[in-house]
Amino acid sequence: MFRKAEPGAVVVGGSAAGLYTAAIVARAGRHVRVFEAGETLEPKARTLIVTQQLKELLGRSATTCTLNEIRHFELFTDGRSASIALAQPDLVIERARLIRALAEEARTSGAAIECGRRFVSLDSRNGKLTLRIDSGGKEEEVRAATVVGADGTSSRVAREAGWPVPETAGLVQAIVRPPKDCPADTVRIWFVPEDTPYFYWLIPESAERGALGLIAEDLAHARECLERFMDKRGFEPVEFQGGRIPVYRGWVPVRRRLADGEVFLVGDAAAQVKVSTLGGVVTGFQGARGVAEAILHGGRSRELATLRRELGLHRLVRRALHGFRQSDYSRLVDLLDDTARRALGNSSRDQAARLLWNLLRRRPRLLLLGLRGLLLGCRGPRG
């Protein structure tokens, strides 16, 4: 079967970033179809933590997927600790709930979500951009003027259009019962550089349930370290969650011309992830909003330029932290006096420039510690 080219967009992948893109473009009056390979839109559950910026981006949809609000962070390293009070609470969300809420918003905006439609390939022969889609074992060709690859870290759309495969890290977390001395509004962070250049976290969904996890460069190593960490501290896992997370190494141009159409990437497919923490929910939505702007306004998008600067700053922070040893984290915690903690609590992680400026002007010695980490960070992200 062969369909005429659509004036709007075909979004490949029912991811959060893909559905958000679809909703924006459809709301502007364009025809949008979302092709999701699964027979139903039922993603795997995963507990995530995001800033209040999610509410600014999504409004009501953010409320429906929120499990808990976080008002404090506790940092631990080598017998030292520091507590940071947040001026605005972070949100603990559940990814499957988020995607269902976004799907409903996309449908309400006019987008058609078609499940059981697996993307196979792009074809640009004869100067026409065509998608080959598998539906229940039968292949169909679909013409499109615009294709949006929202199909995750191992994006097939990206490979078909000629983008390189991004580097990834492994995320593993276990659902556990938080200890009695951990308040339900407090996230705990442990820095253990011999296990991971990132950190361990405990994110409470409630007083009875939380997500304990880490990110490491190897998924099997992450699982091994997490199990050892739980055994040492007496945590009993109820279930495990995990996956591969793209590692941002530099800006990925998100737009390519192919035959008579255009191909865009959003979210994990474009590695739109804060590499400081490997959090990609808010930045993925910012990338989706930027791509929607580009589709609607002939390629122009201030949002993408802003996102590029933000991701670059997080990459600089990560390069410094990748060089940290246990003694450096101890020094970091020692330097977090009351003034520095207030600066951290009053700043959003999704506004890296403001956060760094507020912190460094109050504790300039943190800059020297960061520079030392950069010099020692040859084993970390670079480019």
When pLDDT is averaged across residues 71-100 and rounded to a whole number, the result is 94
Give how far Cα 288 sits from Cα of 148, 247, 254, 344, Å. 10, 18, 10, 27
DSSP secondary structure string, 220-253? HHHHHHHHHHHHHHT---SEEEEEEEE---S---
> Which candidate, 105, 92, 95, places its Cα nearest to that of 19?
105
Q: Report residue 352's pLDDT band, with 50, 70 and 90 as the boundaries.
A: confident
Phi and psi dihedrals of 135, rounded to 5? -125, 100
Report the CATH architecture of 2-44+95-166+248-301.
3-Layer(bba) Sandwich (3.50)
Q: Is the pLDDT of residue 356 over 90?
A: no
**pLDDT band for position 365 (50/70/90)?**
confident
Residue 253 structure tokens: 């141009």
Whether residue 170 contacts residue 222, with contact meaning beta carbons closer than 8 Å, is answered with yes
Identity of the residue numbered 115 = C
List phi, psi (to 5°) of 51: -85, 175
With bands split at pLDDT 50, 70 and 90, how would you rate the model's confidence at 361? confident
Give mean pLDDT, residues 109-133: 94
Q: Minimal CA–CA distance to 225: which of 202, 247, 196?
A: 196
Region 86-101: mean pLDDT is 94
Q: Check pLDDT > 70 for residue 375.
A: no
Question: Reduced to 3 states, what is the DSSP secondary structure of residue 19?
Answer: helix
Whether pLDDT at 69 is above 90: yes
pLDDT surpasses 60 at 377: no
The CATH architecture that domain 71-85+168-246 belongs to is: 2-Layer Sandwich (3.30)
Give the residue-averaged pLDDT of 226-237: 96
| Residue indicated by tokens 């991971």 | 196
Q: How confident is the model at residue 338, as a pLDDT? A: 92
In angstroms, the CA 11 to CA 98 distance is: 18
Instruction: Write out pLDDT tens, residues 143-199.
Output: 999 999 999 999 999 999 999 988 999 999 999 999 999 999 999 999 999 999 999
Residue 2's pLDDT is 35
What ranges in 40-180 are assigned the alpha helix state H?
A: 53-58, 60-64, 95-109, 156-161
Break the chain into its structural domains and give their ranges. 2-44+95-166+248-301, 71-85+168-246, 315-379
Note the pLDDT of residue 347. 86
What distance in Å separates the CA atoms of residue 5 and residue 81, rounded to the nearest whole number?
A: 59
CA–CA separation, 30 and 83 (whole Å): 48
